[in-house]
Structure 1
């Protein structure tokens, strides 16, 4: 049993934390002080970014404003990012990313939940692929990518472009198909598209039948596939593992995410890839007052793919266990499903649906995906007429 006010720090505002805030709005104990540390005043739905690139969604369509959620939860927002974590001392080091530079350098917590989403460690990226951190348009964080994509459209108006997507996983494929569709429909027929697969197969984590469907779609769209690795990005283009150079105006980098560098030295139990290890309760096995969800963590007992589907499903049980931990009650295990519905968009208007070994494709699959994504957004987004206070810092009620 605790005494006095207990501090809950929500680190990041990913898919799971959006649902935690919604639950806190319905049920927040009076003796729980909640703070949200995140660099952006909104959460971007990564599943909708390909639709944004294809021109089917606006930026606002893809963004959940955090201010209404934070206010309803009786929490306060600190605009900044984590730079370090000391789990033994129960402190998070932070740096401001907003206009208000008065962010405390250290934030103390009694309970910590981490849901910072997928990140790219730029220092690690630069070591592995020199020039990429400066010259590539990197898919993560999605908030930055979404704001920079219109510049590619401006460049296409000036001259025919050569665009290369580095990474043949779901993120790279969806963005490649979306970009090709957008520029083709805009009349930029001379734009050339290339997919660099690296060492992995195209759509490597999908069934063989899905990979065949993707390859067929790439051929139909006239997209060049190079089974090459990118070893660096220079002023003229991409340096390939074979020693050749691929001329390229816009390199789009869609490789897998990294674990945040600040987790090293945190004292938390980490996976081999540097992510937070969590148990069936989304709880750190080394520090019982630390929880995590989304791409920043790995289930020690039941590893699963890094996917927004799993992050969304982890939200409600994470909220329940945070409240239970605060009240000193028993935690409940979260059991991710063995199979999930996966909808891989191949440009707006067409998608491939996968459930375990089963797969099919068509316009109906894209409409299904569109309904699911819009429904999630509508659940946590206030009416369009509501004002958006992008730089407000809500205070506890």
Structure 2
């Protein structure tokens, strides 16, 4: 019997599970290894922080999907991979051999990229860990004035800073929120039509914008690139993500940043029995930003090609879209939409985003 190992419960793999429930793979043992029994949908995390959703509304329960698909769910985390031997090692030492491997584990945050971050910061990833600690942070912020700083001003950092500021102001907290944005400012690389309404929202929610980077974190303060020491009770890190360290030495071909190098069929460029999708992978033939939108879109072609590879059939090339729709929430029930150079904003954009996000959760068995 052949064995298909699904590593990670990311956006693409939830679609693979749904496809397997509709049409099982005869004569194939399918395993799903994930450290979390649910997927916390990152696209709705800012809405949860802002208080627009309950926790149960932003999760996809993986055990139910696995059960429906006839997939064995293994509680564990990949810690090592020998692609030449077709063998994965879990953090607890268990070893799993496979015939076909699909990686959708997502990226990680480098906890040592900023000195002191590991000891003093709250990281946005893994999302499960952030969610578990956020309620404690919120209770503390409501009980006493705090200085909070979000470090990193990409889409994730901006959305979290705005959600925090909105939630705390609405609940009457005296806590102050800052955004450490670097010299390029918030949403560097986005069109001005996106940046301007976001800058207005930051001003409206009284988020202090700091045009510096964070160089060190200590208990109670940050050190910025201009030498300033900023009072900070809780730093929230939303800095760029990195490739999982266990990919080094795996034998797989990697890009210059350490992510799995893949081609048009979502296969590894060095090991055709290994597939990868989502933020853990880089399309060498069609580079695109690492975002949840592309991970979701990769689900159907990944499910198809896994099925064909196991059956010995011809694989289907997949070309990701050249541009994608971004919907960024701005704290209150308001959002900004962008499609290439086009952008617009308003309450109606938030309702549009809300409908898309809830639909995604319901599609995979959640209760949004």
TM-score (norm 2): 0.98
Hey, what does 2:205 align to over in structure 1?
A: 221
Hey, what does 1:41 align to over in structure 2?
A: 37
| 1:141 equivalenced with 2:126 (yes/no) | yes
RMSD, matched Cα: 1.2
TM-superposed deviation, 1:211:
1.5
Hey, what does 1:26 align to over in structure 2?
A: 22
Aligned with 1:334: secondary structure?
A: coil
TM-superposed deviation, 1:208:
2.0
Hey, what does 2:91 align to over in structure 1?
A: 95
Q: Judge which range, 365-374 or 204-213, deviates more.
A: 204-213
| 1:106 equivalenced with 2:95 (yes/no) | yes
| 1:121 equivalenced with 2:121 (yes/no) | no
TM-superposed deviation, 1:200:
3.8
Q: Counterparts of 1:234 and 1:29 in 2: how far apart (Å)?
A: 53
Aligned with 1:277: secondary structure?
A: strand
1:8-39 deviation per Cα after TM superposition (whole angstroms, max 9, x unaligned): 00000000000000001111222110000000
Aligned with 1:84: secondary structure?
A: strand
Q: Counterparts of 2:206 and 2:49 in 1: how far apart (Å)?
A: 19
Q: Given the alignment, which residue of 161, 164, 173 partners 2:158?
A: 173
1:38-81 deviation per Cα after TM superposition (whole angstroms, max 9, x unaligned): 00110110001001100111111111111111011111011010
TM-superposed deviation, 1:140:
0.4
| 1:353 equivalenced with 2:349 (yes/no) | no
Q: Counterparts of 2:175 and 2:206 in 1: how far apart (Å)?
A: 11
| 1:286 equivalenced with 2:270 (yes/no) | yes
TM-superposed deviation, 1:244:
1.9
Where do residues 3-82 of structure 1 align in structure 2 (5 Å cutoff)? 5-82=1-78
Hey, what does 1:99 align to over in structure 2?
A: none
How many residues end up aligned between the 2 structures?
A: 368
Hey, what does 1:210 align to over in structure 2?
A: 194
8 A Cα contact 2:37 2:61, kept in partner: yes
Aligned with 1:43: secondary structure?
A: strand
Q: Counterparts of 2:353 and 2:189 in 1: how far apart (Å)?
A: 19
Where do residues 163-312 of structure 1 align in structure 2 (5 Å cutoff)? 163-188=148-173, 190-312=174-296
Query: Structure 2 stretches of 5 or more lacking a match?
Result: none
1:122-143 deviation per Cα after TM superposition (whole angstroms, max 9, x unaligned): 3xxx2x3111012111000111
TM-superposed deviation, 1:383:
6.2
